[in-house]
């Protein structure tokens, strides 16, 4: 029987949920900048600076968390995000917009490692799948339920309303973070980010987990931002894929997270297979019906894969190296999110968004087959 989830988990879950509301609302920030007259190039720079600063801050994230612990990491992460949003909500000139987005990226980079690291340390070993499944609701709920009304407010001229809501949520997350108990473990002294990468890469199981995290991110990063563009080419709507995907992932993480604790790594192939099959059905079917079926399968796959990889990572990583390993895993995921959209945008000019996404699906299927044949057996329970 699964262990009871501790009170500390629910505090960290509430913090994660409120912080994700803020980050999700900022998916609409390019629309705000467009309506305020900024050029596409300026908007692109304002968007990508978030990811650039986030990735560049990873060595600092590791050092700070190893020295000060996860509670301090979440507190400082929220303070940095609040500072950035306070600047952005004034609609400053472009240089200050870049500064605000950079502060946001630095804060989110720290927070997004500190929160799952805290969860890994407080969750009972036989309830990690259930715990990380519930934590995985944090990015989905605001995406499904808050983006439509926030978009309506912006189009109605209320440009500041979603930004102020994001500011309020970050402030709530900061207040909740102070209720946490400090979580830190003895860390390997003087291990730099590069040294940690070398040490993790020498361990076959950790190397496979880093590659699996990258593959998981690539199941979303090239597809989710551009499926609506592809849908236009096929005379359908992106929401026919995105809404079933989000709802299926929400249901799986809420209802079936416990399967991760029971089945463990036996779920790797079904989870990744469902994710990739959904992309292939949607992009090669190229119709509303194919989008609904493909999106649902994609959501089932992402719903299972998120808690599964975090649960296996928590089990396999030495506790004395949790900070380094969780930072590396977060970096692998974020790197895919930074690079993949740029590659898709550059290739879509020749092949169209629909054409390139079809090849993405086939490439991901080949990668899943290769991981099954040559890598995942290392992780077998």
How would you write the chain as a 3-class SS string? CCCCCCHHHHHHHHHHHHHHHHHHHHHHHHHHHHHCCCCHHHHHHHHHHHHHHHHHCHHHHHHHHHHHCHHHHHHHHHHHHHHHHHHHCCCCCHHHHHHHHHHHHHHHHHHHHHHHHHHHHHCCHHHHHHHHHHHCHHHHHHHHHCHHHHHHHHHCCCCHHHHHHHHHHHHHHHHHHCCCCCCCCCCCCCCCHHHHHHHHHHCHHHHHHHHHHHHHHHCCCCCCCCHHHHHHHCCCCCHHHHHHHHHHHHHHHHHCHHHHHHHHHHHHHHHHHHHHHHHHHHHHHCCHHHHHHHHHHHHHHHHHHHHHHHHHHHHHCCHHHHHHHHHHHHHHHHHHHHHHHHHHHHHHHHHHHHHHHHHHHHHHHHHHHHHHHHCHHHHCC
The reported pLDDT for the residue numbered 137 is 95
Q: Is the model's pLDDT at 1 over the cut of 60?
A: no
State the average pLDDT for the chain.
93
Residue of 243 and 381 predicted with greater confidence: 243
How much is the pLDDT for 189? 55
Q: pLDDT tens for residues 274-319?
A: 999 999 999 999 999 999 999 999 999 999 999 999 999 999 998 8
Q: What was the pLDDT predicted at 186?
A: 63
Determine the average pLDDT of the residues in 96-108.
97
Check residue 34 and give its pLDDT: 87
Task: Answer whether residue 2 shows pLDDT above 60.
Answer: no
**pLDDT score for 380:** 79
Write out pLDDT tens, residues 7-64.
999 999 999 999 999 999 998 898 899 889 988 888 888 988 999 999 999 999 999 9
Is the pLDDT at 76 greater than 60, yes or no? yes
pLDDT tier for residue 187 given thresholds of 50, 70 and 90: low
pTM of this structure: 0.92
Say yes or no to pLDDT of 381 above 70.
no
């Amino acid at each position: 029987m699964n262990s009871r989830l501790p009170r500390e988990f629910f505090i960290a879950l509430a913090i994660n949920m409120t912080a994700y509301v803020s980050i999700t609302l900022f998916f609409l920030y390019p629309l705000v900048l467009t309506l305020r007259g900024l050029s596409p190039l300026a908007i692109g720079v304002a968007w990508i600076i978030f990811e650039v600063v986030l990735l560049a801050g990873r060595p600092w994230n590791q050092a700070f968390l190893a020295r000060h612990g996860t509670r301090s990491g979440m507190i400082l992460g929220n303070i940095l995000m609040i500072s950035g949003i306070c600047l952005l909500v004034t609609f400053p000139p472009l240089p200050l917009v870049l500064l605000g987005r950079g502060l946001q990226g630095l804060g989110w980079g720290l927070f997004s490692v500190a929160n799952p690291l805290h969860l890994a340390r407080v969750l009972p070993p036989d309830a990690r799948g259930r715990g990380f499944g519930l934590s995985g609701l944090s990015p989905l709920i605001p995406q499904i339920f808050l983006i439509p009304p926030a978009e309506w407010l912006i189009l109605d001229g209320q440009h500041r309303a979603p930004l102020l809501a994001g500011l309020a949520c970050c402030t709530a997350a900061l207040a909740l973070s102070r209720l946490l108990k400090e979580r830190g473990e003895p860390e390997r002294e003087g291990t730099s980010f590069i040294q940690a990468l070398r040490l993790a890469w020498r361990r076959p199981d950790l190397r496979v987990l880093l590659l699996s995290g990258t593959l998981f991110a690539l199941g979303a990063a090239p597809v989710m931002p551009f499926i609506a563009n592809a849908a236009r080419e096929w005379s359908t709507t992106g929401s026919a894929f995105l809404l079933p995907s989000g709802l299926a992932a929400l249901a799986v993480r809420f209802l079936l997270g416990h399967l991760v604790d029971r089945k463990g790594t036996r779920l790797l192939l079904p989870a990744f297979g469902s994710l990739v099959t959904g992309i292939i059905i949607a992009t090669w079917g190229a119709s509303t019906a194919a989008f609904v079926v493909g999106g649902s399968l994609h959501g089932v796959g992402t719903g299972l894969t998120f808690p599964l990889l975090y649960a296996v990572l928590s089990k396999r990583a030495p506790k004395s190296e949790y900070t380094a390993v969780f930072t590396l895993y977060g970096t692998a995921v974020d790197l895919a999110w930074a690079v993949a959209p740029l590659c898709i945008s550059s290739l879509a000019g020749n092949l169209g968004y629909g054409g390139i996404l079809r090849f993405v699906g086939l490439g991901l299927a080949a990668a899943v087959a290769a991981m099954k044949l040559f890598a995942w057996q290392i992780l077998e329970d």
